[in-house]
Each structure stands twice: as structure tokens, then as C-alpha cells.
């Protein structure tokens, strides 16, 4: 029994409050060194769920994923957008060097379709990143998604309302996002695998914060060149 407990304690997936356990779990750099430093030098966990909690879309949250999108698309991996609140503005993505051939936008009709689609995206070998905007999620559904994420070993980021911050979640990483001053994005680490939460940083998005990633009225029909239009 003692050996079993020791094994469990050494597993970084077992949260131990303020006791630090160095994790060797696979991860993808966020592309922001200041944030990676707050995440133990790692970044977005692979094979696990991450949550970004915010009050409303459009505060710069997509720029948080932009370096990862660029890197994964360039490597031939698919980036899935599942039920985004608005239509992504494809020319802006192309202008930032995101290969649009590797981007797939999906809208589902109901909650059961959403969960089925998200699970299958997570399990697919072509997937590099899944960004999803779920509605209401029960704890058992989040655990179900966690199992799918482990099977696919890719990055999954759920954008959820900040009011869920106080709820328990099996997600390996939980970030609270707030708009800062001078087009900054404030990031508060609510939970991270293998260590304690509470780290904070501010990301300088600069002119990128104004890019029209989520436009509902200006959607070019395509095709788009890599330089945008």
C-alpha cells in the first residue's frame, strides 16, 4: 500500500496543493516566454484539457493561441475551431502566417453533437489543436473530454465564462483572462498540473489586439493568399 501511495504522489496529475511536483508531461510552448515561465517552463499541456476563463470574447484571447496555431499549421497539423462565438476573419489569420488549409471551422446543432464532435476531433491523429466554446458542461462531460484528450495527445483549449472559475474541473491548466491597459492581456493561473496556482503575468499584445479575428459582418469568401486581403 505504501508503494502505491508513493507512486500516486509522484504522479504530477495528482494535485498536492502548495507542494511542487516537477512534471514531465508533454507540452507545447505558448510562444510567450513570460507566460511559459509562469507555467514551469512548459506551456499548453498535450493530452489534457486547458481552460481559458473570461467575461466576454474579443479581449485578445485568440492571440494567446496564435503562436501555437502558426506552429502547428506549419507542421501540417489541423486546428479545429468548434462553435466559436463569431466567424473567424480568415484574411487576418492568413496575414499572421496561419496556413488556412489546416484550419477547420465546425458549428454543431446541439450539446450532444458538440460533445461527439469534440471527442472525435480530440481523438483524430491529424489534430494539433482544438479550440472549443462549449455551453454548459457537466463535470462528467469534462472528464469524458479529458479521456479523449489523453487518447489524442493534442492540445485542447476550452473558452468558458469566468463565472465557472470557482467550479472544480479536471482540466490540467486553467487560466483566468482579463483585458489590461494599453492592449495588454492579464493572465491569472488558477490551476496548473504539478504545481500550485496563483502566478500572474501580463502579455503585451500591442497592435495585434486590434486584429479582426472575430468579425461577423466582414467575411471574405476566399480563397485567401498567405499575405491576406
Which residue shows C-alpha cell 465557472?
A: 164
Q: Are 61 and 177 in contact (CB under 8 A)?
A: yes
The owner of cell 458538440 is: 114
Residue 8 lies in a domain: no
Please tell me the number of Cα atoms within 13 Å of 90 on its side-chain side: 15
Tell whether 10 is covered by a domain: no
In a domain, residue 202? The reply is yes
| Residues with Cβ within 8 Å of residue 106, at least 6 apart in sequence | 80, 81, 82, 83, 117, 121
CATH number of the CATH domain containing 99: 3.40.50.300
Residue 48 domain flag: yes
Q: pLDDT by residue (tens digit) across 57-110?
A: 988 899 999 999 999 999 999 999 999 998 888 888 999 999 999 999 999 988
Q: For residue 12, give Cα distances in angstroms to 1, 53, 155, 172.
A: 19, 23, 18, 10
- Give first-to-last CA distance, the chain, whole Å: 64
- Using only the alpha carbons of the chain, give its radius of gyration: 18
Among positive and negative, which fits the CA dihedral 52, 173, 19, 163?
positive
CA 43 to CA 101: how far, in whole Å?
25
Q: Is residue 112 part of a domain?
A: yes
The string of pLDDT tens digits covering residues 147-192 is 999 999 999 999 999 988 888 888 999 999 999 877 789 999 999 8
Domain assignment of residue 107, given as a range: 25-210
Mean pLDDT calculated for residue range 110-129: 94
Q: In this predicted structure, what is the pLDDT of residue 41? A: 84
| Strand ranges for the chain from DSSP E | 27-28, 44-45, 48-54, 78-82, 103-106, 127-132, 155-161, 173-179, 184-192, 200-204
Residue 15 located in a structural domain: no
* 216 lies in some domain: no
- Model pLDDT, residue 206: 56
Spell out a b/e string for 90-105, using b for 16 or more CB atoms within 10 Å of the CB, else e.
Answer: bbbbbbbbbbbebbee
Q: Does 127 map to a domain?
A: yes
Q: How many domains does the chain have?
A: 1
Task: List the one residue out of 49, 64, 7 whose CA is nearest residue 144.
Answer: 49
Amino acid at each position: 500500500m505504501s508503494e502505491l501511495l508513493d507512486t500516486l504522489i509522484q504522479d504530477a496529475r495528482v494535485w498536492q496543493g502548495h507542494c511542487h511536483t516537477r512534471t514531465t508531461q508533454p507540452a507545447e510552448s505558448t510562444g510567450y516566454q513570460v507566460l511559459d515561465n509562469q507555467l514551469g517552463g512548459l506551456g499548453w499541456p498535450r493530452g489534457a484539457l486547458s481552460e481559458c476563463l473570461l467575461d466576454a470574447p474579443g479581449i485578445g484571447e485568440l492571440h494567446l493561441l496564435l503562436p501555437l496555431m502558426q506552429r502547428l499549421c506549419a507542421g501540417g497539423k489541423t486546428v479545429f475551431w468548434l462553435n466559436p462565438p463569431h466567424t473567424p476573419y480568415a484574411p487576418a489569420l492568413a496575414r499572421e502566417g496561419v496556413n488556412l488549409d489546416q484550419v477547420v471551422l465546425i458549428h454543431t446543432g446541439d450539446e450532444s453533437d458538440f460533445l461527439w464532435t469534440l471527442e472525435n476531433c480530440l481523438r483524430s491523429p491529424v489534430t494539433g489543436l482544438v479550440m472549443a466554446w462549449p455551453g454548459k458542461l457537466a463535470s462528467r462531460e469534462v472528464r469524458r473530454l479529458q479521456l479523449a484528450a489523453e487518447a489524442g495527445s493534442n492540445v485542447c483549449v476550452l473558452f468558458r465564462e469566468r463565472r465557472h472559475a470557482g467550479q472544480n474541473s479536471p482540466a490540467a491548466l486553467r487560466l483566468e483572462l482579463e483585458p489590461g491597459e494599453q492592449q495588454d492581456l492579464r493572465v491569472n493561473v488558477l490551476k496548473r498540473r504539478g504545481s500550485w496556482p496563483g502566478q500572474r503575468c501580463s502579455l503585451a499584445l500591442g497592435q495585434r489586439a486590434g486584429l479582426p479575428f472575430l468579425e461577423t459582418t466582414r467575411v471574405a469568401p476566399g480563397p485567401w493568399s498567405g499575405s491576406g486581403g
